[in-house]
A and B are shown apart, each in its own frame.
Chain A
Amino acid sequence: MSTVTWITARGLFGRRRFLLLLPLPALLLVLAVTSRSLGVDPSQWGPPVLVGLGLAVVLPVVALIVGTGVLGAEIDDGTVVHILTKPLPRWQIVLPKLAVAAGVTAATVAVPLYVAGVLAHSVRLGLALAAASALGALAYSALFLALSLVTRRPVLLGLVYVLIWEGLLGRFVDGTKVLSIQQWVIALADRMAPTDLLSTTVSVPVAAVLTALVSVGFTVLAVDRLRSFSVAGETS
């Protein structure tokens, strides 16, 4: 485990505010368990809990906070200089940070989604949701990590993507769904465990290719941006 991985993980877990991330997955679990124990039909509670809460809110929001935090926090308080001045190739800085961000996001989201999937349908659906959300966590993390290097306001730009592009436009304009990580995750999960709980208009090959493309593309972009990174003060 490289030193960068170590300090990134410590930067995330060492703060008390990391605990604020826990209510999101916990709520997912509570809702799934309550619905199941009260005997509500899974075809009714499945979509709002699995997709409406899990894939549309918990996954992107956790990925946003963690993904922009692994590098953005250091850029914000200026300590990123300490890493940048070490004789490390830039990819050895970006990749460990991406790994930590994707790993933490995947762990926080995949576990409750697995449990909810098992309660809703079957172990297969649970595994499919966990695997697909892990892939989604990687794509989201790469996107948000690159955002934190491209702009000085990564969280707001990320929110524009999550709220306005995926949330608002995705609901009214079908065409934008092709470029929505959320829809790719749904397509992949539906392919791995076909049920009537998940539905999307995006085809599986498109989703798989685009997920890979986004993950790799934004990582390369982040490495490239870090190569010519200039440290500046807080935006006015």
Chain B
Amino acid sequence: MPEPTGVIHDIGYQRYTGPRLGRRHVFGALYVHGLRTAFGLGRSAKAKIFPWLVVGIVLVVAAGVTAVRSQTGQAVMTYARFVDTMSWLVIFFVAVVAPELVSRDLRSGVLPLYFSRPLPRGDYALAKLGALVTALWLLLGAPQLVMFLGAAFTTKDGLHGVWTELGDVLPSLLYAALWALVFASVGLLIASLTSKRAFAAGGIVAAFLMTAPIVGVLSIMPSRTVNELAMLASPSFLLHAVGLWAFGDKLEPGAAADQMIGDFGPVYVGAAVLLVAGCVALLLLRYRKVAAR
């Protein structure tokens, strides 16, 4: 029997002995990566086209509004109204970004790799959700900042005028955050159901667009209560109703707000909270199931 000739060489492999970053860092890394993905940063030029198209349009509109205001001295639209006007662009942005965030991972089957790290199932979904919420808030907040700066530098009332503007823009930034929260949770939930980006995008748009005409029909029904509760039927109108309740005549001139929602303002706020909570819960459930597969 010949002697074994194989030799094991020590080529200097070493164990990792540095600090092991925990759950918080994994979460943070996923969040930052998601936020960069949303705007196509660190990716090819093709991935930047659609997000930056939306950002460009929104900023151009804001610049136009600011320019008109500084020339004529009259505000074309209030900050909160600006958010409402951009709703179709927000839908498009969600349809672009949400599938990019979750559907790609489903399609390329990398979820087991993620979950082999010390990363709880829920954290993955929440980090993605946080990234999308932040991206949407930036999308809606940046143009408001442009409008605010334009108004602050051209105001004729000195510091007092700037203070009034600040009082207008801060609640509206909160309103934008609510928009971001609702659109992100609904959009991400739909996108997480399919691994095809194209189909996810279509589904998100269909879900937001098909619900809007329901509001139109409900608001002409013969019952006044139904009319005032009509805006519950669609996410974007639901937010509009919350805005009407919170801002009143800053969103719709005159007493239109009272006619449209009656005394149901708190109901709308509750519905918005429920919608977000429900979608997040379903999203977490969805990832528990995906991870188990």
Contacts and interface: CB of A to CB of B under 8 A. Distances in A.
Interface of A: 17, 20, 23-24, 27, 31, 34-35, 38-40, 44-45, 48-49, 52-53, 57-58, 61, 64-65, 68-69, 72, 76, 152-156, 159-160, 162-164, 167-168, 235-236
B interface, how many residues as a size bin? 20 to 34
Given A159-B205, A160-B53, 19 more contacts: A34-B217, A35-B220, A44-B220, A48-B216, A48-B220, A52-B216, A57-B206, A61-B206, A65-B202, A68-B198, A69-B198, A153-B50, A155-B198, A156-B50, A159-B95, A163-B205, A164-B88, A168-B88, A235-B44
A146 to B, nearest CB: 16
Interface string B197-223: 111011101100110111011001110
**7 smallest A-B Cβ distances: which pairs?**
A48-B216, A53-B213, A155-B198, A52-B213, A65-B202, A44-B220, A57-B209
A163 B57 CA distance: 13
Contacts of A159: 92, 95, 201-202, 205
Given A48-B217, A156-B95, A38 B222 contact: yes
Interface string B78-98: 000000000011011001100
A120 to B, nearest CB: 12
27 contacts: A27-B210, A27-B214, A34-B217, A35-B220, A38-B222, A39-B222, A40-B220, A44-B220, A48-B216, A52-B212, A53-B213, A53-B214, A57-B210, A61-B209, A68-B198, A69-B198, A153-B46, A155-B198, A156-B201, A159-B205, A163-B91, A163-B92, A164-B57, A164-B92, A168-B88, A236-B43, A236-B44
Nearest to B219: A48
Contact of A57 (B95, B198, B213): B213
A39 B221 CA distance: 9
Contact of B47 (A155, A163, A236): A236
Nearest to A30: B214
A40 B221 contact: yes
B89 A164 contact: yes
Looking at A44, A61, A68, A159, which has the most chain B CB atoms within 10 Å of its CB?
A159
Contacts of B203: 20
Contacts of B57: 164
A159 B50 CA distance: 11
The DSSP consensus for interface residues of chain A is: helix
B69 interface: no
B201 A49 contact: no
Interface of B: 43-44, 46-47, 50, 53, 57, 88-89, 91-92, 95-96, 194, 196-199, 201-203, 205-206, 209-210, 212-214, 216-217, 220-222
Contacts of A31: 213-214, 217
A17 B194 contact: yes
B236 to A, nearest CB: 13
Nearest to A47: B216
A155 B99 CA distance: 12
A77 to B, nearest CB: 9
A52 B218 CA distance: 13
A64 B217 contact: no
A97 B68 CA distance: 49
Nearest to B196: A76
Nearest to A34: B217
Contacts of B198: 68-69, 72, 76, 154-155
A86 to B, nearest CB: 25
Contacts of B217: 31, 34-35, 45, 48-49
A20 B212 CA distance: 18
Nearest to B95: A159
B202 A38 contact: no
A146 B152 CA distance: 48
Contacts of B92: 159-160, 163-164
A49 B95 CA distance: 24
B270 to A, nearest CB: 25
A58 B46 contact: no
A28 to B, nearest CB: 9
A206 to B, nearest CB: 26
Nearest to A32: B217
A167 B88 contact: yes
A48 to B, nearest CB: 4
Contact of B222 (A20, A27, A40): A40
B192 to A, nearest CB: 14
A220 B71 CA distance: 49
A68 B213 CA distance: 25
